[in-house]
Structure 1
Amino acid sequence: MQRDPEDEVVDAVMSASRALLAVVARSLAAVDEDVTLPQYRALVVLAQHGPRRPVDLAEALAVTPSTATRMCDRLVARELAVRERVAEDRREVRVLLSDRGRDLVDEVTRRRRTELAGLLGALSAAQRSSVVQALRTFADAAGEVPEPDWAVVV
């Protein structure tokens, strides 16, 4: 029985996403065992897009505003993020990366890049080219900011 091509694509992405998540988890654990993956994702969103209102961060993370607010509380308590009042409207609060938060994102990114380079080094040049094209298309479809536009380049 022949498999549905859409199922094959989904299966391949599911397998790759598990491998990529494992790289992220290892890289994060090596830097800070107390930061959860959802908290790290919030830090990455702040690194990519700059200061955000908690409600906007909630939307970007696909969580409820109360969940994002609690996450921001934890990140601020750990000094990975700071809250600031908007000058034009003192009632409005935005969350942004602290220097410590930026350092964490940068170090995890460096570790991820190193591990991924090792994994990709096992592929032929043609295979790497195919991976680049497919993953750029996938990232664009997901609305991700291109890596050179925000991350540390080692």
Structure 2
Amino acid sequence: MQRLEEPGDELVDAVMTASRALLAVVVRSLAAVDEDVTLPQYRALVVLGQRGGMRSAELAAALAVTPPTCTRMCGRLEGKGLVVRERPADDRRAVAVSLSPAGRALVDDVSRRRRDELRTLLAGVPTGRRAAVVEGLRSLADAADEVPERDWTDSVVAP
């Protein structure tokens, strides 16, 4: 097994700074929609959008929260009409969670708003440095085991 070198402070500082800028984009995009959804709830909706419906315990693991926390979150999202919870026929003890049409619409709307704002932000990156940004961000996304954007957003259309 290959031993990975620990990243230096310069790399960590650069990613911390960039993550603040990206988080601000997410917060503004989420605040612009009419739903009252928290960032953790939105993350749950995105995970369901990326991976499809799943059992509540699987969603809890994907979100790195406890099953009771996930259950409460899903209850709130179900109350807002953004997810559907059902008991699978093969295991009546489990609960399967999936996006409702309204949940999919919310994720699509926030994603469109994020794309628009990111397009504006990225226009400030010099053309000659954009390939390096793409490579670095793809490496970071791979390390985080994130699903590539185009692999899960079929209804979000780029302008």
Stretches of structure 2 that go unaligned for 5 or more consecutive residues are: 1-6
* 1:31 counterpart SS class: coil
Q: Which residue of 1 aligns with 2:61?
A: 59
Stretches of structure 1 that go unaligned for 5 or more consecutive residues are: none
So what's the TM-score if we normalise by structure 2? Answer: 0.91
Q: CA RMSD in A?
A: 1.4
How many residues were matched structurally?
Answer: 151
Structure 2 counterpart of 1:128, which letter? Answer: R
Note if contact 2:56-2:94 (Cα within 8 Å) is conserved in structure 1.
Answer: no
Q: 1 or 2, which has the higher helix percentage?
A: 1
Q: Which residue of 2 aligns with 1:49?
A: 51
1:120 to 119, 122, 143: 122
Matches within 5 A, 1:136-147: 136-147=138-149
**Aligned structure 1 segments of 4 or more residues deviating by more than 2 angstroms:** 87-92
Matches within 5 A, 1:43-122: 43-122=45-124
* 1:92 counterpart SS class: coil
* 1:82 counterpart SS class: strand
So what's the TM-score if we normalise by structure 1? Answer: 0.94
Q: Which residue of 1 aligns with 2:8?
A: 6
- Aligned residues: percent identity? 67
